Chains A and B, each alone.
Chain A
């Protein structure tokens, strides 16, 4: 099927690649179908694009590319909701808030997106860990400490 995207123009997608957020995502509860697209081949950035709303697309990354120590414990309600059977099926992404100037861009490590790649069910969870917040700088800052 063909969809319009916020950043990548019109593209052709396979319906089996659609990721289902049964309960939407916070602030966008009606958005239940997304697709994950590499921004381009040469960068670690992806776009989590709504299949139904062309202007809705999030810039996401694999947190481990930028925050190697990042760790999330999935709770029972997530494992149950996404019917996760084994760890290897789980893909984790975090949403970026691209700031002006872009050097101020932050990653939301408190609200990662969890995808069960086995059944394409996904959910944005909230992490109950005081080390993580919604704004972790992606690039080292000249002044002050990260996070």
Chain B
């Protein structure tokens, strides 16, 4: 992993069109500003991982369990 030191208001560029700026440093928390093309998805890593993990679990449903569930919810 590349490690760079930055101070408040300093930036790094990723490629030609992604800019990440240190906006504020408050104790243990750092605020980052990110400029990127609209086509780029930006998200917190823990959310990204949580969705990956949930998809894996969701894909393992057994048919028996699913039948138990669906029988509980007849459509109105």
Taking Cβ atoms with an 8 Å cutoff, the residues of A that contact B are 6-7, 25-28, 39-45, 56-59, 76-77, 80-81, 95-102, 105, 108, 110-111, 124, 126, 128, 133-135, 139
Answer whether A80 and B39 are a contact pair too, CB < 8 Å, given A58-B58, A59-B58, A102-B65. yes
Which residue in chain A gives the minimum CB-CB distance to B40?
Answer: A77
Chain B: interface residue count, which band?
20 to 34
Residue pair A134, B73 in contact (C-beta under 8 Å): no
With a CB–CB cut-off of 8 A, which chain A residues contact B48? 26, 126
Distance from B42 Cβ to chain A, minimum over Cβ atoms (Å) = 8
- Flag whether B6 is at the interface (Cβ < 8 A): no
Taking Cβ atoms with an 8 Å cutoff, the residues of B that contact A are 38-41, 43-44, 47-48, 50-59, 61-63, 65-66, 68-75
Residue pair A128, B52 in contact (C-beta under 8 Å): no
Residue pair B55, A26 in contact (C-beta under 8 Å): yes
Residue pair A27, B73 in contact (C-beta under 8 Å): no
With a CB–CB cut-off of 8 A, which chain B residues contact A76? 38
Residue pair A108, B58 in contact (C-beta under 8 Å): yes
Residue pair B68, A102 in contact (C-beta under 8 Å): yes
